[in-house]
């Protein structure tokens, strides 16, 4: 065992949307910050943009096994890299709607009220959009919440074939809008634009670092500018140890290169993602915390959510020439429709459908047959396709939970609110079939492949350590500090008390900035107190 005695003001575990953003916000404080990441920097290689490597072979996903509620092993579609899952995300950075923070009645149950409201997050949404280069257009989406400032960058334009689709949807009486995206794109000066509007954007690493992810936009700038930030990669945190009273974390136990290392700090922040953050707390059980660290409420790991997600491919008679297709979103059904007054969810484009993606993304029953189709014929199919991503809010259920058995992570998850999801699928399919002839012709419903996203897809994971004012029913307080342990925080999607129909990432980032401001003030106050004490001693 190797003991490292160097002490830090703050340790941040994880470098994704939560941890990376928090490190960026705290770096200017001058405090001694240690950032721990179990993975490495994602390699820049030609395979970054290879659909067979990314979608069929899952080159950038972990090889570890998790277990479902039946005890069956599965390989999660999650990546351990500097930047976390933002290295592979589609960079759709969307604000929750105002009503998402209220108590909402769904067809399948109740989405509970948040203890903080939209106005508490709005200034931080604005800051997060600036930090992550968000391109968007205000005033197009009728469900859009109020904004204190415009988007920092203009919307990503629709290419002609996608504009034709958007026009056709609008002719039907709906309100397609430009999907807010985080990327380094300069359409007025394409020669000097880092983003080249490639066809391998959604779900791929960016070879040219033009995707606004937590690595490129947060971790790297923080390390380059501030010497007080130390990043250790390939460092897996095994457990957190507490004082005899159990009221504070005293040591962080890690494994580096097969050896154990210990780190200490005044404040410890867990930002490993909803699944792994809960697993770390549960795995850190001790005499004072027999059911897991910070788990006197028995809520650690519970109320896990990940949205009901469905991919639809519309197949057209004509070739879709759009090189960058992920630009359209529709929220007309977000809160339901006249004969179904319950939230249904959000519709977005996916990135381009490519020939070598099809076998990896096909529904299980179709996959063996699709693999037999020659590549050229798959290409003919792909170039006439448009991908659509439908997401419906799933509801918190205490039985949907993360458990740790030995060293194994169990994800006990049962779908709920499925009627709303099914309604959205059928409604959007009918919209695609009804697009006027000014847009592309769409073939009949029978050849609309669709696949419900399987359990291994955990990109929109949230819940598991909900925040609230009552220590009996929540794990974290309103500043995301654990009720039970005074110097322990959780700053990722774990804090969500409910989900929404929107992508969670921008809310994670905004909350990390909010908590970062609070921690910066607390660290400053502590420093002032220590100086005052020192002066009194003299």
Strand duo 408-412 + 401-405: pairing: antiparallel
pLDDT digits (tens, 9 = 90+) for 383-430: 888 889 999 999 999 999 999 999 999 999 999 999 999 999 999 999
Query: Is the separation of the CB atoms in 97 and 500 below 8 Å?
Result: yes
**Structural element, H or E, at residue 432:** helix 418-434
> Which phi and psi (to 5°) does residue 322 adopt?
-65, 130
pLDDT at 367: 54
Query: Is the separation of the CB atoms in 315 and 272 below 8 Å?
Result: no
Residue 202, SS3?
coil
pLDDT at 535: 52
Query: Is the separation of the CB atoms in 266 and 10 below 8 Å?
Result: yes
Pairwise CA distance, residues 509 & 520, whole Å: 16
Pairwise CA distance, residues 264 & 526, whole Å: 17
pLDDT digits (tens, 9 = 90+) for 322-346: 999 999 999 999 999 999 999 999 9
Short-list 152, 148, 94, CA closest to 120: 148
pLDDT at 314: 84
pLDDT at 384: 80
Whose tokens are 């309604």? That residue is: 423
Pairwise CA distance, residues 24 & 482, whole Å: 22
pLDDT at 529: 45
Q: Please give the model's pTM, rounded to 2 decimal places.
A: 0.93
422 Cβ contact list (under 8 Å, min separation 6): none
Residue 312, SS3?
strand
Residues of the chain scoring pLDDT < 50: 1, 365-366, 369, 372, 438-448, 529-531, 533-534, 537-538
pLDDT at 401: 97
pLDDT at 537: 46
pLDDT at 453: 62
pLDDT at 425: 93
pLDDT at 370: 53
Q: How many CB atoms lie within 10 A of CB 134?
A: 26
pLDDT at 302: 98
Buried/exposed 70-93: b ≥16 CB within 10 Å, e otherwise: eeeeeebbbbbbbbbbbbbbbbbb
Q: How far is CA 332 from CA 50, 156, 501, in A?
A: 35, 20, 12
């Amino acid at each position: 065992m190797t003991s490292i005695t160097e002490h830090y003001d703050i340790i941040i575990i994880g470098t994704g949307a939560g941890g990376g953003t928090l490190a960026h916000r705290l770096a200017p404080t001058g405090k001694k910050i240690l950032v721990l990441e179990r993975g490495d920097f994602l390699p820049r290689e030609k395979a970054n943009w290879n659909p067979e490597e990314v979608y069929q072979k899952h080159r950038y996903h972990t090889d570890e096994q998790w277990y479902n509620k039946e005890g069956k092993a599965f390989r999660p579609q999650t990546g351990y890299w500097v930047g976390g899952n933002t290295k592979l995300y589609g960079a759709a950075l969307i604000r929750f709607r105002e009503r998402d923070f209220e108590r909402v009645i769904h067809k399948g149950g109740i989405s509970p009220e948040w203890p903080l409201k939209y106005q508490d997050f709005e200034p931080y949404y604005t800051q997060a959009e600036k930090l992550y280069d968000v391109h968007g257009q205000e005033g197009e989406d009728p469900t859009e919440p109020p904004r204190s400032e415009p988007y920092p960058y203009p919307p990503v334009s629709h290419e002609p074939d996608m504009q034709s689709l958007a026009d056709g949807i609008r002719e039907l009486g709906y309100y397609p809008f430009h999907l807010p995206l985080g990327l380094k794109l300069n359409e007025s000066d394409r020669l000097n634009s880092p983003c080249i509007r490639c066809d391998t954007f959604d779900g791929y690493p960016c070879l040219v670092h033009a995707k606004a992810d937590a690595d490129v936009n947060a971790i790297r700038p923080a390390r380059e500018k501030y010497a007080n930030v130390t990043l250790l990669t390939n460092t897996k945190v095994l457990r957190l140890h507490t004082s005899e009273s159990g009221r504070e974390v005293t040591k962080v136990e890690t494994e580096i290169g097969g050896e154990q290392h210990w780190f200490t700090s005044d404040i410890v922040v867990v930002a490993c993602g909803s699944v792994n953050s809960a697993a770390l707390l549960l795995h850190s059980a001790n005499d004072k915390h027999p059911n897991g660290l910070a788990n006197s409420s028995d809520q650690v790991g519970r109320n896990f959510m990940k949205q009901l997600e469905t991919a639809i491919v519309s197949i057209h008679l004509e070739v879709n020439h759009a090189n960058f297709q992920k630009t359209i979103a529709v929220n007309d059904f977000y809160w339901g429709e006249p004969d179904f007054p319950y939230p249904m969810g959000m519709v977005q484009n996916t990135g381009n459908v490519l020939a070598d993606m099809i076998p990896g993304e096909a529904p299980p029953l179709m996959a063996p047959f699709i693999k037999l189709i020659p590549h050229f014929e798959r290409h003919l199919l792909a170039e006439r396709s448009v991908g659509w991503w439908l997401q419906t809010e799933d509801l918190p259920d205490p039985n949907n939970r993360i458990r740790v058995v030995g060293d194994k992570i169990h994800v006990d998850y049962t779908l709920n609110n499925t009627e709303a999801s099914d309604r959205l699928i059928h409604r959007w399919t009918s919209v695609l079939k009804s697009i006027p002839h000014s847009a592309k012709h769409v073939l009949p419903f029978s050849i609309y492949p669709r696949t419900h996203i399987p359990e291994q897809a955990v990109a929109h994971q949230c819940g598991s350590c909900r925040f609230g004012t009552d220590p009996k029913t929540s794990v974290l307080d309103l500043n995301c500090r654990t009720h039970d342990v005074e110097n322990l925080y959780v700053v990722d999607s774990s804090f969500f008390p409910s989900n929404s129909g929107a992508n969670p990432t921008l809310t994670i980032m905004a909350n990390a900035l909010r908590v970062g401001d609070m921690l910066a003030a607390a660290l400053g106050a502590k420093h002032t107190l220590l100086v005052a004490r020192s002066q009194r001693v003299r």
